[in-house]
Amino acid sequence: MNFSTTLLQWFAKNGRSLPWRETSDPYAIWLSEIILQQTRIVQGQSYWERFMKLWPTVSDLARATTDEVLKAWQGLGYYSRARNLHTAAMQIVERGEFPKTHKELKTLKGVGDYTAAAIASIAFGENVAVVDGNVYRVLARYFGIDTPIDTTGGKKLFQELAQSLIPSDQPANYNQAIMDFGAIQCTPTSPHCDTCPLCETCIAFREQHIDSLPVKSKKVKQRVRHLTYIFIQHQGLTAIHQRGAGDIWQGLWELPQAEHLDSIGDGTWKEHAQLVCKDVKHVLTHQILLADLYYWTPQNQPPLPKDFIWSPTETLEDYAYPRLMEILLQAIKKD
């Protein structure tokens, strides 16, 4: 029995039951793929259900505001996904129909090779293989490939191999099978080799190279970044602003930072603000953030940069914040 057939048989018995697998609606499938980028299914499913309830069709999503979409996305992280999702919804509505091919799907904002292949194969039956982290791991181990997966040559090699293995009559099932197999059976650590139907012909298992495959040549470098936030409360109002482009958390809201007040030459807060918490750690892909939070209740409303607003404190929860800001606002509540 060959690799692909074995995978399909395994999938028939062990595949995950997921709501977006119970429909052929490309919108529902596309939405699930975007949400599950960088997100575990156990967390992502509730967000998928929320989006489908708020915006049942792509037209509904296109009519939403960016702030509404970011608010619904709050807590998932990687907020560019939400902005791209909204932009792509408007692209689809403008063209009049959902793109049906891998090539057409890649014209949508935020849709790359993997996502386009998943939608094209699952929603439209196109014979195109997906390649994600799970696929890299399964193929690297089974075929004993030590070519780094984060190189141009490695990506080409694995894409061609994946495409050669996909059965033309079952592209959707095969793609879902290999993704589930990597997530459930051939896991990154402690894979279940003792119950694996492929272990007898798996090179990594035979040669005891499981822990060293797949190979990556580059390591992500993280820089440490210190942030100082001030919760300014005056007569039931709190100062916040919406982050602009060119940095993390574009379009999300935050409290003023020390640098914002320094930019207008107001250092009064340093004399009167109380420290609430210090060095609150939040890890991003390329940055480690360490945040301090101060609480300040000035007698007179202080000047702020022009892009800030004063919001009623009781309505702060109506805005979309990055996860770090949620943690700091919770600290204020507790304090």
Residues with catalytic annotation? 33
CA–chain centroid gap for 137, Å, is: 20
pLDDT at 238 over 80: yes
Per residue in 192-236, pLDDT (tens digit) is 999 999 999 999 999 888 988 999 887 767 899 999 999 999 999
pLDDT at 285 over 70: yes
Residue 317: per-residue pLDDT? 87
206 and 248 assigned to the same domain: no
Per residue in 302-320, pLDDT (tens digit) is 888 888 999 999 998 889 9
Q: Name the nearest CA neighbour of 119 among 79, 88, 153.
A: 88
Tokens of 103: 């090539």
Plot region of 246 (φ>0 → left; ψ -120 to 50 → alpha; else → beta): left
155 and 269 assigned to the same domain: no
In one-letter notation, the amino acid at residue 229 is Y
Contact predicate 257/230, CB 8 Å: yes
From residue 126, alpha-carbon distances to 105, 120, 121, 179 in Å are 12, 5, 4, 17
198 and 242 assigned to the same domain: no
Q: What is the radius of gyration, based on Cα positions, of the chain?
A: 24
Residue 201: per-residue pLDDT? 93
Per residue in 163-200, pLDDT (tens digit) is 999 999 999 999 999 999 999 999 999 999 999 999 99
pLDDT at 266 over 80: no
Give the CATH number of the domain where residue 147 resides: 1.10.340.30
190 and 232 assigned to the same domain: no
Give the CATH number of the domain where residue 289 resides: 3.90.79.10
CA-based diameter of the chain, in Å?
78
Question: What is the tally of structural domains in the chain?
Answer: 2
Mean pLDDT calculated for residue range 225-252? 90
pTM above 0.85, yes or no: no
207 and 242 assigned to the same domain: no
Helix, strand or coil, per DSSP, at residue 136: helix
Residue 194: per-residue pLDDT? 92
pLDDT at 1 over 70: no
Is residue 218, in this structure, part of any structural domain at all? Answer: no
Is residue 217, in this structure, part of any structural domain at all? Answer: no
Tokens of 217: 């040549």
**265: confidence class by pLDDT, cuts 50, 70, 90:** low
Is residue 261, in this structure, part of any structural domain at all? Answer: yes
Q: Name the nearest CA neighbour of 255 among 218, 276, 230.
A: 230
pLDDT at 161 over 90: yes
295 and 231 assigned to the same domain: yes
Q: Which of 69-78, 85-94, 313-322 is modeled with the greatest confidence?
A: 85-94
Mean pLDDT calculated for residue range 95-116? 94
Residue 257: per-residue pLDDT? 92
Average pLDDT, the chain: 91
177 and 282 assigned to the same domain: no
End-to-end CA distance of the chain: 63
d(CA 21, CA 24): 8
**102: confidence class by pLDDT, cuts 50, 70, 90:** very high
Among residues 185, 212, 239, the one where a domain terminates is: 212
pLDDT at 29 over 90: yes
274 and 161 assigned to the same domain: no
288 and 187 assigned to the same domain: no
130 and 36 assigned to the same domain: yes
Is residue 41, in this structure, part of any structural domain at all? Answer: yes
Residue 232: per-residue pLDDT? 92
Q: Where in the sequence is the domain holding 10, given as residue range(s)? A: 3-212
